[in-house]
Amino acid sequence: MSDSPSDHPVVLLVEDDGLLLMEASDTLADAGFTVLEASHADKALRVLENRSDVGVLMTDVDMPQGSMDGFALARLVAHRWPSIPVLVVSGMGTPGPNDMPEGARFIPKPYEPTTLVRTLHAFLRRAA
């Protein structure tokens, strides 16, 4: 088995709850992803500005820290980095008609780890 970067797609995981961040990060790492963690949208933007290998953005909606919520982050990433697929997760309800950028996916919390992994793999297959 080779160990090239393409064997370990990079996911930028944005979650303000430390326990949920750790659980999602572990799930994704166990599934073969390289996980970059950000506790709020501003930190996620700094990561995106400094790394060119991010393959997928996964963001929570409700993030009290920082200058924007997950929906605003998703729209900004879709505009500035249109090649990066966006997955939005939330336990606070479903998105409204203008909350999500075109092509983004939504998964309600709590989600099954297998659903999360399947969705991210589907994103990467479409992007390839």
* Residue 81 identity (one-letter amino acid): W
Residues of the domain holding 88: 5-127
Q: Which pLDDT does position 93 carry in this prediction?
A: 83
Count of the separate structural domains present in the chain: 1
Nearest-10 Cα torsion for 63, 65, 67, 69: 0
Q: In angstroms, how far is the first alpha carbon of the chain from the final one?
A: 20
Q: Which pLDDT does position 63 carry in this prediction?
A: 87
Judge whether residue 9 has pLDDT over 70.
yes
Q: Which pLDDT does position 100 carry in this prediction?
A: 96
Q: Most distant CA pair in the chain: distance in Å?
A: 44
Share of residues in the chain with pLDDT > 70 (%): 95
Domain containing residue 93: CATH number: 3.40.50.2300
**What angle is formed at CA 100 by the lines to CA 96 and CA 102, rounded to 5 degrees?**
125
Segment 92-115, tens digit of pLDDT: 888 998 999 999 999 999 999 999
